Amino acid sequence: MPRERSARVDKGVNKSEIDAAWFGAMGTPDGFPAGILADSLGLPDLPVTRIENSCATGNDTVRDALYGVASGTADVALMMGADKVHETPSTREHMAMVAVKNHRHGLSNPKARLRFEVTIDEVLAAPTVVTPFGVYDCALQSDGAAALLLAAEDVVDRYTDRPVWIRGVGLGLDSVMRQHTSDLTTFPATVRAATRAFSMANLTPADVDVAEVHDFFTGIELISYEDLGFAEPAEAYKLMEAEVTCVGAALPVNSSGGLKTKGHPPGATGVAQSVELVEQLRGEARNQVDRARIGLAHNIGGPTAVAAVTILEGPGTHGS
């Protein structure tokens, strides 16, 4: 590989000559994972140490790299500082709005574990689990089960006169390690799963009338609005401010109360989402969405390495 020149390295440098790196980052609550730097350089074996020391982070990065070279453990060290503190306008208050909405929806669901309402102030004042998520931003890990019966079109009349149809399904994958991604505000697995499901269904996000979206953390629901195509990038917060995703509005999300109030038994959650949508599309749900015709279910996990999307169509609309 040729040595690359720059205005500051007048004889050039080959990145393979770098023995170690120190990466200063502070702006995001937990900073950027150190592996992002190694991955971006294409040097997966490069030892990278992330430094955070308030507004002294940059100079402390220089200091620590100096000690590395002075100790003889590295001949060539890379020092880098970076922050991106305005990635998206969504705030803790917008995540709190998700919790408030889903608790309100879950209040009338007898299968929800957390059947009580909360206020934005209560959500914001709750103990922190891991920054930026508090107690009310997180779903419960739960026991649970759900089941559906799927029948071929030529025999479905044996079982019901009001079948709900599966219009599209999609599975999307991504790297298991989040440090291998350059954007921490989108989940490519969800984008890929949604693209495949909508393509199979010959539908668009604008066709969805009701959705059950993965909300193991409130922030995941916000990010998923954008990944599923319900909002433009960095604009999910607008849906919360306008209450678009509340029952009675244009696109109700998690009318069941979501994982946030029901809990999350991983093997059952996606099936339970479709059960809720079947009831919605048949007009039999407790938090019934008026004239619901198309429903979407979404889960992501792994962590964020796999996502699945299912699109359902209500009785009497199949083939229309």
**86-109: b or e for each residue (b if 16 or more CB lie within 10 Å)?**
eebebebebbbbbbbbbbbbbbeb
Catalytic residue at 138? no
Question: What are the phi and psi torsion angles at 106 (to 5°)?
Answer: -75, -10
Among 287, 218, 289, 198, residue whose Cα is nearest residue 250? 289
Give whole-number Cα distances, 313 to 87, 108, 163, in Å: 36, 24, 9
Tokens standing for residue 165: 């149809």
Query: Phi-psi region for residue 78, left (φ > 0), alpha (ψ -120 to 50) or beta?
Result: beta
How many CB atoms within 10 Å of residue 238? 15
Among candidate residues 94, 103, 264, 298, the one labeled active-site is 264
Among candidate residues 55, 103, 138, 246, the one labeled active-site is 55
CA 312 centroid distance within chain: 21
Residues designated catalytic? 55, 264
